Amino acid sequence: MKEKSVIFFDIDGTLLDHEKKLPSSAKEAVFKLKEKGHEVAIATGRAPFMFEGLRRELEIDTFVSYNGQYVVLQGEVIYANPLKAAALEQLTKAALEREHPIVYMDHEDMRANVPPEHKYITESISELRLDVSPAHDPLYHQGRELYQSLLFCPEGEERFYEETFKDFDFIRWHPFSVDILPSGGSKAKGIEKITERLGFSKGQQYAFGDGLNDIEMLTHIENSVAMGNALESVKAVAKYVTKPVDEEGILHGLQMVGLL
């Protein structure tokens, strides 16, 4: 049997298929990993409240959320890196002038600064197939710690924000939506908080992902696995490429690296 390892899984396009369903083979694989004594964790751009059901189903209490800004180890928050409030206020003003909505997000909820029926908001958030949706509160960003926000603008229009607001990183995840993150934040940095606490060596760390926000994670983790449905730029940085998510990609990848 392999030595005890820690395995980080992205959610969308990795654990969940394109219908946002968890393949039975992936679920069984996760429980087999745990039976073998491995630590299983999630590393996602989602907010904690967006994958509570999945955590319960897989009995996982260790996760990196908000692309590394809010990290929980065995049920305990061990790292939080909020957005800079003053810079977010300035970005909000600029976005309103350009008619680009924002959804503010903390660890418990999300609120839109315009009526959430806005086309850009409904079309992008609906693709996540969540049980929750943002309500309207233009002042939600004031007086609370936010770990990520969503900027809604057509492709290319985020360049203005990238050039103007250096306190943030912007990662596009939908034709109408961009993640706003603290500058320099990433899944890789969030993962480090967990691996340092648990004492896993580089060789004991594994990660599976498929999207642009997984590139730093897959570059940082020695045993990195890109899904077969991943972007080519993601596959290029991974050590291994498994089958697509809807072709038992998780199970195949775990067998490929020798964990199952």
- Give the CATH number for residue 205: 3.40.50.1000
Contact 226, 217 (CB under 8 A): no
Report the sign of the C-alpha dihedral through residues 153, 157, 159, 165, in that order.
Answer: negative
Match 């972007």 to its residue by tokens: 231
Is 76 within a domain? Answer: yes
Catalytic residue among 10, 17, 106, 169: 10
What pLDDT score was predicted for residue 242?
98
CATH number where 118 lies: 3.30.1240.10
Domain that holds residue 250: 6-80+185-256
Confidence class of residue 193 from pLDDT cuts 50, 70 and 90? Answer: very high
Is 233 within a domain? Answer: yes
Q: Is residue 190 located within the same domain as residue 68?
A: yes
What is the pLDDT averaged over residues 177-199? 94
Active site residue 109: no
Is 129 within a domain? Answer: yes
Number of domains making up the chain: 2
Q: Is residue 10 located within the same domain as residue 51?
A: yes
Whether the per-residue pLDDT at 79 is higher than 90: the answer is yes
Is 1 within a domain? Answer: no
What pLDDT score was predicted for residue 131?
79
Q: Is residue 29 located within the same domain as residue 106?
A: no
Q: Is residue 127 located within the same domain as residue 176?
A: yes
Q: Kindly give the pairing relationship between strand 168-174 and strand 148-152.
A: unpaired
Whether the per-residue pLDDT at 218 is higher than 60: the answer is yes
What is the pLDDT averaged over residues 70-94? 97
What pLDDT score was predicted for residue 185?
86
Q: Is residue 94 located within the same domain as residue 176?
A: yes
Q: Is residue 224 located within the same domain as residue 202?
A: yes
Q: Which residues contact 144 (CB under 8 A, 6 or more apart)?
A: 106
The rounded Cα 203 to chain-centroid distance in angstroms is 23
Q: What are phi and psi of 226, to 5 degrees?
A: -95, 140
Percent of the chain with pLDDT over 90: 92
Q: Is residue 225 located within the same domain as residue 193?
A: yes
What is the pLDDT averaged over residues 86-102? 97
Residues 219 and 221: their CA atoms lie apart, in Å, by: 6
Q: What are phi and psi of 96, to 5 degrees?
A: -65, -40
Whether the per-residue pLDDT at 132 is higher than 90: the answer is no
Using alpha carbons, select from 99, 248, 91, 114 the residue that is nearest to residue 181.
91
Q: Is residue 144 located within the same domain as residue 194?
A: no
Orientation angle between helical segments 24-35 and 249-256, nearest 10 degrees: 40
Is 235 within a domain? Answer: yes
Q: Is residue 61 located within the same domain as residue 92?
A: no
- What is the DSSP secondary-structure string of 150-206? EEE--TTTTHHHHHH-TTEEEEEEETTEEEEEETT--HHHHHHHHHHHHT--GGGEE
Q: Is residue 64 located within the same domain as residue 191?
A: yes
Q: Which of 182, 198, 226 is the last residue of a domain?
A: 182
Q: Which of 146, 161, 182 is the last residue of a domain?
A: 182
What pLDDT score was predicted for residue 200?
95
Whether the per-residue pLDDT at 2 is higher than 70: the answer is no
Confidence class of residue 1 from pLDDT cuts 50, 70 and 90? Answer: very low
Q: Is residue 172 located within the same domain as residue 140?
A: yes
What is the pLDDT averaged over residues 223-251? 98
Report the sign of the C-alpha dihedral through residues 221, 224, 230, 234, in that order.
Answer: positive
User: Each residue of 10-38: b (16+ CB within 10 Å) or e?
Assistant: bbbbbbbbeeeebbeebbebbeebeeeeb
What value does the mean pLDDT of the chain take?
A: 95
| Half-sphere exposure at residue 6, Cβ-oriented, CA atoms within 13 angstroms | 25
Bridge partners, residue 105, by sequence: 110, 148
Q: Which of 162, 182, 202 is the last residue of a domain?
A: 182
Whether the per-residue pLDDT at 31 is higher than 80: the answer is yes
Is 16 within a domain? Answer: yes
